[in-house]
Chain A
Amino acid sequence: MASKLYHWLNERLGFDDLYKGLLDRPEPRGTWWNTLGSATLFLFTMQVMTGIFLLMYYTPSPDHAYDSIQYIMNEVAFGWLIRGIHHWSATLMVLLVFLHMLRVFATASYKYPRELTWVIGVFLLLTTLGMGLTGYLLPWNQRSYFATTVATEIAGLVPGIGAFITRTLRGGTDLSALTLSRFFAAHVWMLPALLTVLIGIHLYLIIRHGESEYPTEED
């Protein structure tokens, strides 16, 4: 019965092909350094999951943002754990993305035929930093307020269009409710959507070209 059901589903969904195409692939001999990419992907998944939980209680308005986080930390069951994981996972994610990049650079894995995998990877790094920057403001505390003031000021140093960029980021001349809602929208929708698409392309390219082998004397 079970095998009949499996056969029926497999005929329609193609488990076996998926298994052959995605999992049962030959790979060059790897080391623990090769796990940095998948570890980053794992942290991204953690961020999405804990982020969704935080979203249930967080309110993106200057009046309530701080209090809603106090509520998450003190009242919600395991709220402190979810926020703690989200916070530390963000920190580790930046660190791992950076280490992953260094590993790829050191083994020259960005060379033919994997040039585009590297380019997408750099965009992933920038988007991750963007997630860090936008997420930093959301607790609406002293540190986030003043750090974002400085960060948006620095964006204003771009010759010519600097003032426009600062105004667009802040939604006005000063940090305000608008800034908070813009950063919130970027943090929970725009950047995660971008990250998901970029990760998809990155993974597709990795499967297409296979993981790179460690270079030998002859390479």
Chain B
Amino acid sequence: MDEKFKQRVQSRYQQALQRGERFWPDSIYKDLLVSLGLFLLLIGLATFVGVEPEPRVDPNDTAYVPRPEWYFLFLFEFLKFIPGQLEWVGAIVVPGIGVTVLLLLPFIDRNFYRHYSKRVLALTVMGVIVVDIVMLTIMAFAPAPAPEQSAIKSMQMWAGLIIPAMTLILLYAFSGILKEPASQRKTMITTASIAAIAIIVLAGGSAFTLQRNAPPKEKVAVAGTIPEQIAQGEELYAVNCTECHGADGDVTVIQGVEGLDGKVVTPISSKDVMYTFTDDTLFNIISDGLPELGMVPFGTASGGELSPGEIGAIVTYMRYTWDDRVEVPEAAQGGGIPALAEGEVPSYDVHIAPLTKRYCVSCHRAGKENNNYLMTSYEEMLNTGDNAPNVVAGDANSILLQVIQGHEVEGKTGTINIMPPNGKLLKDEYVDMLIRWVMAGMPQTAEDAAAAATPAP
């Protein structure tokens, strides 16, 4: 940019000032009038349209379709066209390029001229982008077409993105061509047009086939229905809560938990709790803990490990398991630990795993004080522990069977306590189940158990 050009710009500006107006009062008058109009418009909107009411946050509502503020909708709609693995290109790279170009515009656009007739390319680019943004925004507001209408969707994609993009490329090509001598123009225009049409057809065809053959999107497993939430909640409860509150939520004095031994707790499955605490209250207690009573917070918001959805599942599980006013949906029944028939031999997969999951693994897993006896899998249950083996096929004196029947055992590293440690033995049927299992040789699968049940020929 030479000095001459700068001087020309400055002198022309001075001339414009001569012919111009005063900032005060001419310009200010218009500004104030527009501001006043806006102010009245705002009061009108606030009074007659108002702010759309929205329900309170419910992180468990997985069916909620998120919707950004309207001025981000075009980006949101644009992202829908981008296949999953390329999402970062659509969400980061394209807007990133857009913002960079916008920022550096004065340095990219080296055209000295300012009049519209001399800036056709720049104005067309801007126009196409604006039309694109407006179209995408309108499409986002229109109801989403059903999956079988994907052809319509791809037509929209054509109208909204591909055609404008091709127009731009063509325009750019032509602006170069027009600088060539007239004799060459005609052939070049013809070649460019044919090439452009070929590209459009090819791109469109491949986009259409891609869309038709695209594999259905993988669904993310979110516990949605009540039975699913109960099942998820049961598992989370066993791992996070059983240690202190007991598998059935009826513990009144915590035993065998480091730092909390002997603490008095409210039996959380009691009617007192179930009838007086709402789901929200339960949710908040689990999430934030009760520090003055020794309960640690579990929610990620307070430094714990459970997401709001997981805490919600625990609350659902508690409500449907202990609150006698709630009816359990049919699909949720029949889960848990199956009962044994007369003479039936239990197997690890069918009976013992659900039992240990509910009553044992909250302590008998890695990272807890448990004499290194882990019970999260069949192999661990048979082989781990300082006093291994804790179960011996056919041995009624196996350590596991002794402690669950209320007998302390002298082990290699000291006395082995009665289990579960909270002073309340397992229900008789569960003790019986474990005895039968060990006596039958600890079958792992249902087939093994059936084989053990039939006397060998």
B301 touches A219 (CB 8 A): no
A46 touches B39 (CB 8 A): yes
B114 touches A111 (CB 8 A): yes
Complex interface: stretch among B50-58, B352-360, B361-369: B50-58
B106 touches A110 (CB 8 A): yes
B292 within 8 A of A: no
A92 touches B42 (CB 8 A): yes
A192 within 8 A of B: no
B453 within 8 A of A: no
B71 touches A129 (CB 8 A): yes
Digit string of B94-114 for contact with A (CB within 8 Å is 1, else 0)? 000001001101110100111
B17 within 8 A of A: yes
CA distance A215 to B122 in the complex (A): 15
A216 touches B115 (CB 8 A): yes
B450 within 8 A of A: no
A129's closest neighbor in chain B, by CB? B71
A142 touches B20 (CB 8 A): no
Digit string of B19-63 for contact with A (CB within 8 Å is 1, else 0)? 111111011101101110011011101110111001111110100
Partner of A142, one of B1, B27, B55, B115: B55
CA distance A2 to B216 in the complex (A): 81
* Max chain B C-beta neighbours (<10 A), residue from A22, A62, A108: A108
Q: Known contacts A106-B123, A112-B9, A219-B113; is A147 also within 8 Å of B68 by CB? A: yes
Complex interface: stretch among A8-16, A132-140, A183-191, A193-201: A132-140
Partner of B30, one of A24, A32, A216: A32
CA distance A176 to B305 in the complex (A): 12
CA distance A30 to B17 in the complex (A): 11
Query: Nearest chain A CB to B73's CB is how many angstroms away?
Result: 11
B324 within 8 A of A: no
A217's closest neighbor in chain B, by CB? B115
B119 touches A66 (CB 8 A): no
A91 touches B16 (CB 8 A): no
Complex interface: stretch among B84-92, B162-170, B220-228, B268-276: B84-92
Contacts of A147 in B (CB 8 A): 66-69
Interface SS, B side: helix
A150 touches B66 (CB 8 A): yes
Query: Nearest chain A CB to B133's CB is how many angstroms away?
Result: 9
B103's closest neighbor in chain A, by CB? A122
B66 touches A24 (CB 8 A): no
B87 touches A28 (CB 8 A): no
A219 touches B50 (CB 8 A): no
Query: Nearest chain B CB to A47's CB is how many angstroms away?
Result: 11
Contacts of A163 in B (CB 8 A): none
Contacts of B56 in A (CB 8 A): 66, 140-142
B43 touches A85 (CB 8 A): yes
CA distance A91 to B16 in the complex (A): 35
A24 touches B47 (CB 8 A): no
Contacts of B102 in A (CB 8 A): 122, 125
Contacts of A105 in B (CB 8 A): 105, 122, 126
Contacts of A211 in B (CB 8 A): 27
B308's closest neighbor in chain A, by CB? A174
B219 within 8 A of A: no
A166 within 8 A of B: no
Contacts of A102 in B (CB 8 A): 126, 130
A203 within 8 A of B: no
Partner of A132, one of B35, B69, B302, B308: B69
A213 touches B47 (CB 8 A): no
Partner of B68, one of A115, A151, A217: A151
Contacts of B115 in A (CB 8 A): 215-219
Query: Nearest chain A CB to B413's CB is how many angstroms away?
Result: 38
B107's closest neighbor in chain A, by CB? A115
A158 within 8 A of B: yes
Contacts of B51 in A (CB 8 A): 73, 80, 83-84, 87
Q: Known contacts A107-B114, A210-B17; is A62 also within 8 Å of B57 by CB? A: yes
Partner of A145, one of B13, B57, B123: B57
B299 within 8 A of A: yes
Query: Nearest chain B CB to A146's CB is how many angstroms away?
Result: 4
CA distance A105 to B111 in the complex (A): 13
Query: Nearest chain A CB to B60's CB is how many angstroms away?
Result: 11
B27 touches A30 (CB 8 A): yes
Between A and B, 30 residue pairs with Cβ closer than 8 Å are A24-B22, A25-B23, A28-B16, A28-B21, A30-B20, A30-B21, A35-B33, A42-B31, A42-B38, A66-B56, A83-B51, A84-B47, A85-B43, A92-B38, A98-B71, A105-B126, A125-B102, A126-B99, A129-B71, A133-B69, A140-B57, A141-B54, A141-B55, A147-B66, A147-B67, A157-B88, A162-B88, A174-B307, A210-B13, A219-B113
The 3 A-B pairs of least Cβ separation, nearest first, read A84-B46, A176-B301, A146-B66
Interface residues of A (CB under 8 A from B): 19, 22-30, 32, 34-35, 38-39, 42-43, 46, 62-63, 66, 73, 80-81, 83-85, 87-89, 91-92, 94-95, 98, 102, 105-108, 110-115, 118-119, 122-123, 125-126, 129, 132-133, 136, 139-147, 149-151, 154, 157-159, 162, 172-178, 210-213, 215-219
10 more A-B residue pairs beyond the given contacts A91-B71, A173-B300, A211-B27, with a C-beta to C-beta distance below 8 A: A24-B23, A27-B21, A35-B31, A43-B38, A66-B57, A81-B46, A87-B51, A98-B71, A113-B9, A177-B302
